[in-house]
Chain A
Amino acid sequence: MSRSLFLSVLLHLLVLSLLWADFSFMRKEIEPTTSVPLIIDLKNIIVAEKTNLPPAVKKTTPKPKPASKPQSVQAKSTPKPTTPKPIETKPLKEAVQATEKKTEPEKPMQKVQKPTQQKVSKPTAEDNLKSLLASVDKIKKPLNTPTPLPETEQALTEGIKGGTEGSLTQPLSISERDLIAAKLRSCWNVDAGKSGIEEMIVEIKVLVNKEGRVLDVQTLNMRNDPIFRSVAESAQRAVYICDNKGSESPFQILAEKYKSNYNSWKEIYVRFNPIDGGVY
């Protein structure tokens, strides 16, 4: 009897202490939002191509430290400031290399048993929240102390736990793509009364130089049909007309905003659909 009472009291104390610890922990995290409002610069937040966050990158450094902290996102956010090389593909490749190396000495199952890997394989709501807060911290830090653009971009493209879509290498958000599309649409002039125009979707490949000037325009799906050729030529013309708009050119906007990511927009594939949004 006395033993069971002792165990019950011990268990209650344990639960209460855990609750106390959790609540205090939560209070500390929430406090800043009530005192000083968190300012998030929307320019630095990228909504990826499917309006979702990209999945977390497992490893950003080729040789992870054995005593890494459990919060893997924080642990791996140690980019070398002296390497402002194109960051869009590097994390992925390194991650690939890291996993390749690991597969050789050990079985994949053993890797999962590591503390850091367990968190990745079984993400909980709490993990995702922490990961989100961690990524917000990363955004907040550059705001407080201005840092070079490559670091900011790396922080943004590292992804987040729980993210399933999006791209680490794709620099454009949906709104930015919409902006580019809207500008191209404003340059595109098509006769709405053409016979069969609803089926004439033109696919164009645009080659752009680093300054955002158009080097070449090709129609990828040209048909032996004079009406389609007319629509395709009008789409090509739209690209050149937009190219001639100086700082308003969608290509120069890309060049200005994503100078270091030239490889990601030097080839632009544009699908011109005259009907979807209506010809007006």
Chain B
Amino acid sequence: MYKILLMIALFLCPTWAQAELRIDVSGAQSEPLPIAIPYFSNQTLNADLSTKITDVITADLERSGLFRLVNRDAYIQNLTGVDTRPIFTDWQAIKAAALVQGDIRQMPNGNITVSFRLWDIFNQTQMVAKSLTTTEDSWRRIAHIIADNIYERITGETGYFDSSIVFISESGNQKNRVKRLTIMDQDGENLRYLSNGKSMVLTPRFSPNMKQITYFSYQNGKPQVYLMDIQSGTSELIGHFPGMTFAPRFSPDGKKLIMSMARNGNSDIYTYDLKTKKQTQITKHLAIDTSPSFSPDGKRIVFNSDRGGTSQLYTMNADGSSVQRISFGKGTYSTPVWSPRGDYIAFTNIRDGQFNIGIMHPDGSAERMIATGWLVEAPTWAPNGRVLMFFRQTPSDNWGDKGTSQLYSIDITGHNEQLIPTPQDASDPTWSPLLH
């Protein structure tokens, strides 16, 4: 009896299995997601506020290269507030995949509250909804934070719009350049100068808590690493090193600085504890070791060294042990920076007379160049490790005129290179961590 039942089951099972249809889809399009962002309804005294906030959100998302605004003239439904339920078929008809609706209200104390909802048009679900309150003059940050929320919910990765850039503003003839420490929002707005340009400054780097900047400067006549408090604008010399210190960066916990010190024609890597003021030598080699950068977990360090004959990239433990060469491609490698998400190391490569910005995995695999030019240098990662910024210089004439230096951002896929507008020439950018 059992045998008969078993046989029946065996005969029937394939029939059931065959009743379902299975399809394998391999590969996909990779195009910006069409998103509809009607202007937020405005219930404040400032009539321009809706346009300004909505435009900043839109610009952030579009600049990422992952979103495309559906033309506002095509919108069928007129959303009158954040609580109006979308008619999904109206938005499907104009091929919007996502919709952001919002409103801005004035609080009794003068603050503004911006509320928004993000909808998945085809799945017909609300993806995120939030209300944010701030003073009216902080409307730009609110817009960046909303853009980050939208970006995070749709892509699954953290945003990077509510962040800042510190860089060197350059003016004057190439032979007599004035270089000033400058800070601005990642979209080029809210620009402020942090130094007066009397002494040369280079390689500024943010602390993880965004309160300090470390940089290299010739101030006081001696090329050394300094630490500036952003709020007060005061600077202090770091340590009492016998040689020239340069290429500083913070450790991920913000407690140490790592930098190079050059003495007697040799250059090694040191750390400097900001609390105990203790300096520790990390590399001891006759070669030039420089440009150190911590991994996000603080356990490894990437740097460049000419110990193999040419400048190449190496990684080592935070105490200097277990040194491994990771670059084996053509040309020379320099200025390595570990990605905040840990999966890539960005670098500058020079080969065949051209400069390149490239990325590779920490073990040296999957190397690829994503930007090239007469001079492209100093890559820096967005807080989400998805976008890189660097500066691109064009050659000047024999008299040192006409050359330009500008900041660019680029996606790690090598697409979506964007010029970051600055009022003057710019170089040596460093992206801050996310502010919120």
A binds B: yes
- For window 163-191 of A, CB contacts with B under 8 Å fall at 167-170, 172, 177, 180-181, 184-186, 188-191
Contacts of B309 in A (CB 8 A): none
| Residue in A190, A233, A279 whose beta carbon sits within 8 Å of that of B123 in the complex | A233
A227 and B157 form a contact (CB under 8 A): yes
B157 and A181 form a contact (CB under 8 A): no
Produce 1/0 per residue, B162-198, CB < 8 A to A.
Answer: 0000000000000000000000000000000000000
Main SS class of interface, B: mixed
| Residue in B18, B24, B122 whose beta carbon sits within 8 Å of that of A237 in the complex | B122
A268 and B21 form a contact (CB under 8 A): yes
Expressed in whole angstroms, the minimum distance between the Cβ of B336 and any Cβ of chain A is 19
Contacts of B27 in A (CB 8 A): 185, 273-280
Contacts of B341 in A (CB 8 A): 195
Produce 1/0 per residue, B5-39, CB < 8 A to A.
Answer: 00110011001001111111111111101000000
Stretch at the interface among B148-156, B211-219, B320-328: B148-156
In whole angstroms, how far apart are the Cα atoms of A228 and B413 in the complex? Answer: 19
Contacts of A254 in B (CB 8 A): 21
- B253 interfacial by beta-carbon distance below 8 Å: no
In whole angstroms, how far apart are the Cα atoms of A217 and B19 in the complex? Answer: 18
Contacts of A273 in B (CB 8 A): 24-27
Expressed in whole angstroms, the minimum distance between the Cβ of A208 and any Cβ of chain B is 9
A177 and B23 form a contact (CB under 8 A): yes
B33 and A189 form a contact (CB under 8 A): yes
- B343 interfacial by beta-carbon distance below 8 Å: yes
B15 and A270 form a contact (CB under 8 A): no
A96 and B19 form a contact (CB under 8 A): no
Q: What residue of chain B has the Cβ atom nearest to residue A200's Cβ?
A: B156
In whole angstroms, how far apart are the Cα atoms of A263 and B122 in the complex? Answer: 26
B123 and A240 form a contact (CB under 8 A): yes
Expressed in whole angstroms, the minimum distance between the Cβ of B37 and any Cβ of chain A is 18
Contacts of A244 in B (CB 8 A): 92, 122
- A257 interfacial by beta-carbon distance below 8 Å: no
A267 and B21 form a contact (CB under 8 A): yes
Main SS class of interface, A: mixed
- A53 interfacial by beta-carbon distance below 8 Å: no
A194 and B18 form a contact (CB under 8 A): no
In whole angstroms, how far apart are the Cα atoms of A233 and B153 in the complex? Answer: 11
Q: What residue of chain B has the Cβ atom nearest to residue A279's Cβ?
A: B30
Expressed in whole angstroms, the minimum distance between the Cβ of B417 and any Cβ of chain A is 14
Expressed in whole angstroms, the minimum distance between the Cβ of B357 and any Cβ of chain A is 15
In whole angstroms, how far apart are the Cα atoms of A254 and B20 in the complex? Answer: 13
| Residue in A93, A180, A217, A274 whose beta carbon sits within 8 Å of that of B23 in the complex | A180
- B66 interfacial by beta-carbon distance below 8 Å: yes
Sort A-B residue pairs by CB-CB distance and give the 3 closest, nearest first.
A277-B27, A276-B26, A230-B156
Contacts A/B (CB < 8 Å), 21 sampled = A92-B11, A93-B15, A167-B18, A172-B21, A181-B24, A188-B25, A192-B30, A193-B412, A194-B157, A225-B156, A226-B157, A228-B156, A230-B154, A231-B156, A241-B97, A269-B23, A270-B25, A271-B25, A274-B28, A275-B27, A280-B29
A interface residues (Cβ-Cβ under 8 A, vs B): 88-89, 92-93, 96, 100, 167-170, 172, 177, 180-181, 184-186, 188-195, 217, 225-231, 233-234, 236-238, 240-241, 244, 254, 263-265, 267-280
B interface residues (Cβ-Cβ under 8 A, vs A): 4, 7-8, 11-12, 15, 18-31, 33, 66, 92, 97, 120, 122-123, 152, 154-157, 341, 343, 385-386, 411-413
